[in-house]
Amino acid sequence: MAYDYIGLVNDINRRLNEVELTAANFDTAVGFYGAAKENINSSIRFINQEQFGWPFNHVEQDESLSVGEVRYAYPADAKTLDLNTFRIKRNATFNNNTRKLKNITYEEYLEKYVDMEYETSGSYNRIPSFVFRTPSQEYGVVPPPDNNYEIVYEYYRLPVDLVSATDVPTVPESFRHVIVDGAMYYAYLFRGNSQDASITYNKYIDGIKNMRTLYVNRYDIVRSTAIQTGGRSTTSKVF
């Protein structure tokens, strides 16, 4: 079965011995089948809410800066931008090397650099060195750019609901069963089967914990917290 919206809904139908949907009747499905479609989206939403930064929601973004412009809007699907990843990309035309931008607070920007935003003569314009986050879902760079430099940064996106039969979740296919377990929990509640709902919910939560273990809880370096004595230094282990 294909890993897409209709395939996931039909996973529910097979588990409950219901007739499977087809591409012809998927969009108009109502009643239990309409609920099954919503259950899949509810399951995926819950997975995405359980961890702030799943790696499968990670995006690397390229944008061109505008000469003299300080502030830029977040991407429409951005949950949060990682300001520590901002860099100006190497460009032979503008004769600049790759430069990582230093993250400063909005307050520091207002105290030290805000006049650059209102000086329209271009006297401040040069390759940016700093990036800051505004309170209005924008990021800013200073000094204002003197060329259309390409900026690269990374962010975590807000996944959208599945709509069409062939829509594919951002959650990897290896965790298809987790999505379906979550949807089955909602399906059992829909049918008033609280006992099976409780059992399935526990499987669902265990599946999300396993996802977190595989994707998030990684510790490549363990540093010793022992106090140095007798001139001996602490060590670290790399696994």
Going by DSSP bridges, is the β-strand pair 71-73/138-142 parallel, antiparallel, or unpaired?
antiparallel
| d(C-alpha 53, C-alpha 155), whole Å | 9
- What confidence score (pLDDT) does residue 232 get? 53
Chain-centroid distance, C-alpha 238 = 28
> Angle 132-102-116 (CA atoms, 0-180°, nearest 5)?
55
Q: pLDDT per residue over 11-34, tens digit each?
A: 999 999 999 999 999 999 999 999
- What confidence score (pLDDT) does residue 1 get? 77
- What confidence score (pLDDT) does residue 157 get? 94
| d(C-alpha 166, C-alpha 172), whole Å | 15
> Angle 23-45-201 (CA atoms, 0-180°, nearest 5)?
95
| Listed range (125-139, 201-215, 216-230) with the worst mean pLDDT | 216-230
Question: What does the H/E/C string look like for 124-140?
Answer: CCCCCCEEEECCCCEEE
Q: How far is CA 79 from CA 43, 54, 113, 144, in A?
A: 19, 11, 27, 25
| d(C-alpha 50, C-alpha 172), whole Å | 16
More confident call, 222 vs 48:
48
H-helix or E-strand spanning residue 174: none
Token digits of residue 20: 């499977």
Compute the average pLDDT of residues 196-202: 97
Q: For the whole model, what pTM was predicted?
A: 0.79
Say yes or no to pLDDT of 238 above 60: no
Q: pLDDT per residue over 95-126, tens digit each?
A: 999 999 999 999 999 999 999 999 989 999 99
